[in-house]
Chains A and B, each alone.
Chain A
Amino acid sequence: MIDVLRKNRVQLITLIALGLFFLFASQGMSSKDWVVTMLRGLAVGAITFLVASGFSIILGLMDVLNLAHGALFMVGAYLGWSVYVRPDTFMDLLTPLALVGAGFALSPLWDYWLTQLSLRPALPRTWPWVGLALSLALLGFTLARAPMAAWNPEAYAESPIVWTQAFEQGKLAAMIQPATFDGIPPWAGLAGMIAGGLLLAISLAGFRRARRGEGTLAPPSWGRPLAIFVLLLIAGVGLYLVNDPLTAFLLGLNTTWLFLIAALVATLAGAGLGALMEMTLIRPLYERAIYQIMLTFGLAFIITEMVRSTWGRSGFTMPKPSLFAGTGEGCPATSLGGWLQNHCAIIMVEIGGETARIRTYNEIFVTLVGLVVLIGVWLLLQRTRLGMIIRAGVQDGEMVEALGINVRRVFTLVFALGVGLAALGGVIAAPATGLSISMGASVLLAALIALAIGGLTSYPGAAAGAMLVGLIQQFIIKYGSIGIQLPFMAEPFKPSPTVAPATTVLLMVVILLIMPQGLFGRKE
């Protein structure tokens, strides 16, 4: 026991100091303010944790400092908003995605068939370019005419802000047009998408073949690619046929369900994006660490620019799901039961003789999601084979590979998981904080600080660090409004809101200087 104490004395002293800080904070303000600030801090910590957890696992397993993580968080938020506020856009996107993707489902077959084909030497280099150009032209032609409901950030009347207002006022259904092809018959449009997808996949397989050179491949299994192909075809065409009724159904849906769908779609899209990023961009650079950092930085930049051009520079809000938005009868609630009954946006609680206003979404739901993910990922890490491989790979990836485990595939999976979590964080944060193109950068900074405090690659460290960052930020902001009584100062000092991030940064610097390995990190 004493041994444990001695070994971890630095950690203990730091924890005691932090404890004293919160104790001091509880003395400096009324207990109602303290409780509310604590809850807000935990909620901010939960959002930070959703980003930090994936970031830390990716850093630990593959030594990739993914500075695009914040930008992907933002993408999650914007995608979530799009599915939630504009289900018609979402529906319109599904058909092209499924039909173009169908061609790629057959990729293993293309790879094999191309090796069987004997071509004259000049041809293998040229025809993929021709195919690529043709397929892009075909896709460009059909997709431009495909039904695609969207917004226009340039014009205020069609901007996301106006669409959000329409959603809140329930006028959305009236504004939505039926999905029709523009100028070409539907069968031609659908066929164009399928043909374009097939041609694109074949051309890309041609590039792969040209790069690989001569050589044969083992014949792939037929069943699975074909089954996926057919399934995607049916899904694509089917979704087109039921586009309008399904859109109407989604619009009529309770917004809580719609929000769940949005969160799911954004998470999955984020995971897919992460996997794609790892496979195409990160993978060539595993040997060159510093370039990876720069690459992810560049990606963050590009992603932010793409979001800006799609959704516009100015920020907007995302309405809260109905479970957390009630203001009518019986609201604000006075207990959790009252909230569940009336779906109130606010709970009023009596604390120390004052009434505290606690927002059910911002303070309770967000924290809960953070907690669920915390436990879920912990279970994944501790109880599953994948988690075992991740924990082992963080320490020694080479040895894991020497055991016969395909570490590269695990890398892809983990990247997908991490980015998926960040995207989920984005959707969850959006109704509480709104959407803006700077949301990614600020959450990335918070997550970085959280990780540095917690020990870069430690999972419990990520959780503790995120919580600390959230709490300290919220307490400083609170003190900005009520003032803090500093010794030797007559007037209470009121830090301005811009100073709040500086305190967490300072905390990080101090902790790193005392313990370079962070609170929970391991000494190398």
Chain B
Amino acid sequence: MNNLLEVQDIHTFIGQFHILEGVTVGAPEGGIVALLGRNGAGKTTTLKSILGLTPPSQGRVVFDGQEIQGRASYDIASLGIGYVPEHRAIFRDLSVGENLKIAERRRGDLERKEELIFGLFPDLKRLIKLPGTSLSGGQQQMLAVARALVPDNRLLLIDEPSEGLAPVIIESMMEAIRQLSGDSTILLVEQNFIVASRLAERYVIIEEGRSVKAGLMADLVDDHETIQRYLGAA
């Protein structure tokens, strides 16, 4: 299979703690892959290891045919990987517009993407001059996703997009993510199984730093035993 992203048996240490002890994830071009698992299983660390923010000590990460493990984070990101971190990481000393502008990799990126971004998140347009801190949780999440859309990214790593959001906003966020998956591949970390199962075509379950099960989401939805075992009651 020709995957855009291929993570092969990576091990990652944070300090002296062995966080990832063998994670393998494959993401085919286009579509959404969900990383599932309990709190602290190593899902966020997997995303960070792909980006080189917590560089893996072992294993391979292949993106678009190139091995990228061990390269600097900015270098990896410039290959076309966008990151929407867990707590949004909106820059509070920057205005909403600057929060988007800073993500430009080439001059004019933002102008070219304006239509797409404000089409997905019309709210942001009227907030453009406000400081990043004045946004609500949902608006911050939109901004964080929008920021990853400014440059031409082929892969988006999205961490917990529904966390702490009101149900209505979750719906529109899901809609936005679904639309995005047409143009780029998405690796999604999601605690909320219902959200994940409605969005993703594939899944990888991570348990205590190991990827233990992977497959098609359609098969997982009916596999109550697996859900019970790895994800708790869902």
Direct contact of A and B (CB under 8 A): yes
Q: Which residues of A contact B (CB under 8 A)?
A: 385, 388-389, 391-392, 394-396, 398-408
Query: What 8 pairs across the A-B complex have the smallest Cβ distances?
Result: A404-B77, A404-B78, A392-B91, A399-B89, A402-B83, A401-B73, A391-B93, A406-B74
Place the interface of chain B in its size category: 20 to 34
Q: Is the CB of B83 within 8 A of A406?
A: no
Confirm or deny: B102 has a beta carbon within 8 angstroms of a beta carbon on chain A.
yes
Contact of A403 with B102 in the complex, beta carbons under 8 Å = yes
A163 to B77, CA, bound (A): 56
Asked if residues A402 and B91 are in contact (CB atoms below 8 Å), the reply is no
Closest to B151 in A: A404
Q: B14 on the interface (CB 8 Å rule)?
A: no
Report the bound CA distance from A401 to B74 in whole Å: 5
Bound-state CA distance A448–B143 (Å) is: 37
Contacts of B102 in A (CB 8 A): 385, 388-389, 392, 400, 403, 405
- B98 with A388: CB separation less than 8 A: yes
Residues in A whose Cβ lies below 8 Å from that of B73: 398, 401-402
Ordered by A's residue number, 6 sampled pairs between the chains whose C-beta atoms are within 8 Å are A388-B98, A396-B91, A398-B73, A399-B85, A402-B74, A403-B103
B93 touches A402 (CB 8 A): no
A402 & B77 in contact (Cβ 8 Å cutoff): yes
Most buried by B among A389, A403, A408: A403
- 9 further A-B contacts with Cβ under 8 Å, apart from A395-B93, A406-B72, are A385-B102, A389-B102, A391-B91, A391-B94, A396-B89, A399-B89, A402-B51, A402-B73, A402-B77
Chain B residues with Cβ under 8 A from A405's Cβ?
74, 102
Instruction: Check: B147 CB closer than 8 A to any chain A CB.
Output: yes
B112: chain A residues within 8 A (beta carbon): none
In the complex, A6 Cα to B77 Cα: how many Å? 43
Which of B85, B94, B98 makes the CB contact (< 8 A) with A402? B85
* A394 contacts B74, C-beta separation under 8 Å: no
CB-nearest residue of chain B to A395: B91
Roughly how many angstroms separate A392 CA and B53 CA in the complex, as a whole number? 17
B60 proximity list for chain A (CB < 8 A): none
Min Cβ gap B65→A in Å is 17
Set of chain B residues within 8 Å of A400, measured between Cβ atoms: 102
- A401-B77 in contact given A388-B94, A392-B94, A406-B72 (Cβ < 8 Å): yes
Return B25 CB to nearest CB of chain A, in Å. 18
Q: Give every chain B residue within 8 A of A407 (Cβ-Cβ).
A: 74
The complex places the Cα of A399 from the Cα of B102 at a distance, in Å, of: 11
Interface residues in B75-120 by Cβ distance below 8 A to A read: 75, 77-78, 83, 85, 89, 91-94, 98, 101-103, 105
Residues of B within 8 A of A408 (CB): 72
Give Cα distance in the complex from A44 to B78, angstroms. Answer: 45
Q: How far is the CB of B22 from chain A (nearest CB, A)?
A: 24
Cα of A392 to Cα of B132 in the assembled complex, Å: 11
Assuming A388-B102, A401-B53, is B93 touching A394 (CB within 8 A)? yes
Quote the shortest CB–CB distance from A456 to chain B (angstroms): 15
* Chain A residues positioned under 8 Å from B83 (CB to CB): 399, 402-403
Q: Tell me the minimal C-beta distance from A334 to chain B in angstroms.
A: 46
